[in-house]
Structure 1
């Protein structure tokens, strides 16, 4: 498994491990670098399923595209060479919308990654998840200056990272999964709605108590207007932001 130490990846790893599967957490710490290709063949040899949950924190379209496409090419090519049975890639619902990717380069990079997996010589499933509740604090942190928080307007159907990880693990354990699997939360909300609930329930968000909390569509009208909202999904996770906040405390 690649990306097993990240927020989502660690949860996928735990879920698979608890279900009795032998999981190799491949990372640079264990001598595996998906970007350079170092150690990838050794890590993938003998694997029935390879899960790619790699991530990169960047706002740069160029850096994100280079990272995700280079890693995807190395993983898919090596998987074919060493006889891996299946591939599972974690991505974001709506990232392949041209309007969303035009405004937000990270989404364009994920869309490019999806295309590489879709054309892989090894059977591959791309799990398209909507946004996670856990990411709202990071969004607030990036969007704050002093007492003012100006959020990017995003219409979404969020779910917890735990629920997303469970969906990815289920796909990894299901040899009959199709080329894409969509997972979303049951409730729809804007970034501002979610941030306000967390602030109300906890008294602070990302260590801040903003006096001014607003949102603007600076990631584009498509993202603000619903490009990230699946109309149909393979898995709809019940519960909303208040359930998640209260369960976490």
Structure 2
């Protein structure tokens, strides 16, 4: 489990363990570094599945591309040497629609490398997490106001993201993309307005059709999955109640 000590990775490790699978958390803090390759051979020795939920520490264009290209190259090489039978990577719903962003170009490069590798794989596209709504707000704040486009938005709980990744990892390789999402659709500005109010954050949220989403102009359905997405169970209200 690459990125196995983070928000999603730690939950995936737990969920796989609950279903009788032995999942090993791998991260720099455990001696595994995907950028240098340190510890990868030992971590993958005897593994049936490699799950990568790691993320670039920087969202800037060049560092993100360098991270995903280098890490994915090392993971593909070492997983091939270890004869790992299934490569699972977590990515983002709408990645191919957000390529004006250098970060999403880097995510697309990661996906393309995996798909072109010849290794059996599954890519899980998840919608944004409830846990990151504050980050969206902070990034979109201008002069004390949160400016967001009123487009469709279908966020999900981190627990449901982890469940979707664990379910995919325990199954046969798809050699394709699987989309997972929350059970409810909102307007992005409405979702953030509600979330900020629940947190007691006084910032006003402005519905602005020209406002970008993390620097990218989006359309009505840029951020939501197709009709065949697997939906999580946790609603926003249920998740918010758990945070109190």
Say yes or no: TM over 0.5. yes
Q: Does 1:225 find its partner at 2:220? A: yes
Alignment of 1:131-146 (within 5 A): 131-144=128-141
In structure 1, stretches of 5+ residues that fail to align are none
Equivalent residue number for residue 55 of structure 2: 55
Any residues of structure 2 matched to 1:1-249 within 5 Å, and which? 1-97=1-97, 100-102=98-100, 104-144=101-141, 147-151=144-148, 155-175=152-172, 177-204=174-201, 209-210=202-203, 212-216=204-208, 217-218=211-212, 219-221=215-217, 223-238=218-233, 240-249=235-244
> Where do 5+ consecutive residues of structure 2 fail to align?
none
Secondary structure in 1 aligned to 2:50?
strand
Cα contact 1:153–1:224 (8 A) shared by 2: no
8 A Cα contact 2:183 2:233, kept in partner: yes
Distance 1:153 1:33, change over 3 A: farther
Name the TM-score, length of structure 2 as normaliser: 0.89
Contact 2:90/2:124, CA 8 A, preserved across alignment:
yes
The CA RMSD over aligned residues, in Å, is 2.0
TM-superposition CA deviations, 1:63-121 (whole Å, max 9, x none): 11110111111101111111111110000011022xx111x221111111111111123
TM-score (normalised: structure 1): 0.88
